[in-house]
Structure 1
């Protein structure tokens, strides 16, 4: 079936001094002046896009930005059909948040506080908490979930060998193995303790089973994958989505992957948190003594064969090379334990290259000092700050490859993809232009002042709807005297406007 997909990413936020402080006692004074995490997050949202009065924003590009539990900013992309659109939307959200952080920094500076506001697209903090990147895929209600779930979980628990973001470990090792002992493939993996769960916070699982389709529930359901590492490099994000979409197509077409079902999936996944090269054991239910690399290689080969027989898939337009070229190269790099051929495209490989370069630049460091250096590089890699984050500089130097053009990302900041999101985005933009209060969900539109009956949009692929078009025209024709601002009290901050 034609399907839509989306990403939800949680970000860590914290404020730090803008420059090193050397005067006696100055460090304590500066720290006391810095906003705590909750204050910093609220300050960030004071610099949200113009026209909104709450911290829960549906945006003209079809995406959603809000402040989640634990003072985590979260951005959810619009529904996308194509991999390139999804990657561009993901990057657009990161750029929007970086702009908000810059505004918050300027706000602090105007009040005499020299601080940097850091937004981290990572997965764990120093206290051991984890926050995630969730993927959503629309699937038909008729799909036999019980039959495909063992295949899906086996794919997901071994997927970090391809698209993990890399984890700094506390081990030291010696000699040639020193760097290997300090690195694992996935920071998220050790925090996942269940294959499925209806709870997204109390029990970390690979797949969330809460039946929340955001669409026609009689026809569609949402596959909500909650185990992904947050990725920075565009080819890594694209590869993760491309392979998962292709697997869903193959499963719906009746392709057989049952011999690849991993016998102890959570044990395999947990081992990838500390595995440097993906050699974690992944014995199958058939008794085969395989590794995570073996399982992923088999998936890739079969999916590439399925793709060749199908003659291409529309969602891979401009991104087919991720499956046919990049994925096999990652497997080859893992087997050779040499990431030099993929270290501009895959997060864990890029990060390992950076770590090795810093280690060689500072051969005198060891122990806690070396661990601190690795930690700083890791944080900088995930930092959205335009002056301190590494991604922008790596891209400018040709050391981090892109999938989308800069123009595609710029367009994605304001223009929704050609799905239901196009109707939602047009309605939101019209309301913002008029200053009209509105309420929006993923599947409905409503003008609040003057009040209208909600317009339902149960099909995520429909981009033309007469009722929605009439509502948009109604907004565009509003006169000032017809509108009044809605009192936000008691509404939980939802959709007023946004």
Structure 2
């Protein structure tokens, strides 16, 4: 979607918050998240209806949801989909991708101390019926895979993406207070929300970005350019994490919270065998013209600068690719940055290399993550100058 301003495009950010009940490590996360959403829904729209009743929460219309559409073309058959992928049924909350992120080793793990429990539990049976609400600012707060998730309103600039993502933190704090007060008739409870991506014990949850992209751009071109960019982006957008491995098996610090949970290069799934390039395609627009790029390997950031940089840099790259395709240039100058080694292993290695000395194998020879990012910067800067969109001539 090329515009006069290279960073102008519809963007939305999503954050699944970690949820915890102090003093009760075995509290049901589905129940906590559902009660939290219901409580906030009761207070999210101040004022009264025409009949004097409290303003009702606005529910979500699932009719346009299509979680099985694939960027590569076609659609996964519903019968073949993992249950965690079926997020379009408000009557049945989609489960997490698997009970343990390292399910292939699950037989080696000790049994849970509380034994087997029937599902749904009594707490889940008593859940509020409404597990999603549309907020006054155009965002959405809902339960996604046992986490409260804030999905920002669509915006057009990186600056606004920062503003409305940070607004989600205000919503999270107010939702905690609403639940503590028992708003909307929900049983009062104390929970704490964390804007992070991992619990350090094997579970991961997402902080996703969404970008509207011209469908004319070939998927292979898009994926080829995105993989080295997303693999190395943690050098300026990583949130940082203590622990190496999905279950923090080894001590150490790394740049990205999400990297250790990435296990594939390209795929439709988001909760298991997670890919670098996710192919879920729900543009919520004219699908003959647009596709939605759903980025799932990024981190939940607490500082404005990395939020701004990750959205702005990704938007600029998409502008560059759409421009190059229109001109028949393919990947253009960034052809040399394409990774030639396993991108998943490079993602892990890059995140764990806090010295920035690891050299990734690319079509143009070994490069550090910082050198790859500088390669993108140089190519995009040259295109901006050629179009008169550099600092001196860019539109206001």
Q: Same fold (TM over 0.5)?
A: yes
Aligned residue pairs total 290
Higher helix content, 1 or 2: 1
Q: Which of 5, 13, 16 is the aligned partner of 2:11?
A: 5
Question: CA offset at residue 244 of structure 1?
Answer: 0.5
When residues 40 and 210 of structure 1 are mapped into structure 2, their CA distance, relative to the original with a 3 A threshold, is: closer
- Please give the alpha-carbon distance, in whole angstroms, between the structure 1 residues aligned to 2:186 and 2:261: 40
1:305 maps onto 2:382 in alignment: yes
CA contact (8 A) 1:188 1:273 kept: no
When residues 111 and 60 of structure 1 are mapped into structure 2, their CA distance, relative to the original with a 3 A threshold, is: closer
Deviations along 1:277-311, one digit per CA (max 9) or x if unpaired, are 3333211124x121212111221233233334444
When normalised by structure 1's length, the TM-score is 0.54
Q: How does 1:154-233 map to 2 (within 5 A)?
A: 154-169=228-243, 182-233=252-303
Question: CA offset at residue 65 of structure 1?
Answer: 1.3
Equivalent residue number for residue 449 of structure 1: none
1:252 maps onto 2:322 in alignment: yes
- Please give the alpha-carbon distance, in whole angstroms, between the structure 2 residues aligned to 1:188 and 1:304: 29
Question: CA offset at residue 107 of structure 1?
Answer: 3.8
Q: Please say which of residues 270-279 and 288-297 is displaced more in the overlay.
A: 270-279
SS of residue paired to 2:297:
strand
Equivalent residue number for residue 234 of structure 1: 304
When residues 170 and 256 of structure 1 are mapped into structure 2, their CA distance, relative to the original with a 3 A threshold, is: closer
CA contact (8 A) 1:121 1:230 kept: yes
User: Which one has a bigger Cα radius of gyration?
Assistant: 1
Ranges in structure 2 where 5+ consecutive residues have no aligned partner: 4-8, 46-55, 60-129, 246-250, 325-331
CA contact (8 A) 2:381 2:390 kept: no
- Please give the alpha-carbon distance, in whole angstroms, between the structure 2 residues aligned to 1:191 and 1:198: 15
CA contact (8 A) 1:195 1:207 kept: yes
Q: Which of 353, 371, 390 is the aligned partner of 1:275?
A: 353
CA contact (8 A) 2:262 2:276 kept: yes
- Please give the alpha-carbon distance, in whole angstroms, between the structure 2 residues aligned to 1:223 and 1:133: 14
Q: How does 1:16-165 map to 2 (within 5 A)?
A: 16-17=22-23, 31=24, 35-48=27-40, 49-50=44-45, 51-52=56-57, 54-69=130-145, 71-107=146-182, 116-165=190-239
CA contact (8 A) 1:165 1:231 kept: yes
CA contact (8 A) 2:37 2:133 kept: no
When residues 277 and 300 of structure 1 are mapped into structure 2, their CA distance, relative to the original with a 3 A threshold, is: farther
- Please give the alpha-carbon distance, in whole angstroms, between the structure 2 residues aligned to 1:169 and 1:12: 17
CA contact (8 A) 1:268 1:292 kept: no
Equivalent residue number for residue 20 of structure 2: 14
Question: CA offset at residue 117 of structure 1?
Answer: 2.2
When residues 138 and 37 of structure 1 are mapped into structure 2, their CA distance, relative to the original with a 3 A threshold, is: same
CA contact (8 A) 1:15 1:35 kept: yes
Ranges in structure 1 where 5+ consecutive residues have no aligned partner: 18-30, 172-180, 321-498
Question: CA offset at residue 67 of structure 1?
Answer: 0.7
CA contact (8 A) 1:148 1:251 kept: yes
When residues 46 and 56 of structure 1 are mapped into structure 2, their CA distance, relative to the original with a 3 A threshold, is: closer
Deviations along 1:17-68, one digit per CA (max 9) or x if unpaired, are 5xxxxxxxxxxxxx49x95433322331232124227221122322211111
When residues 268 and 103 of structure 1 are mapped into structure 2, their CA distance, relative to the original with a 3 A threshold, is: same
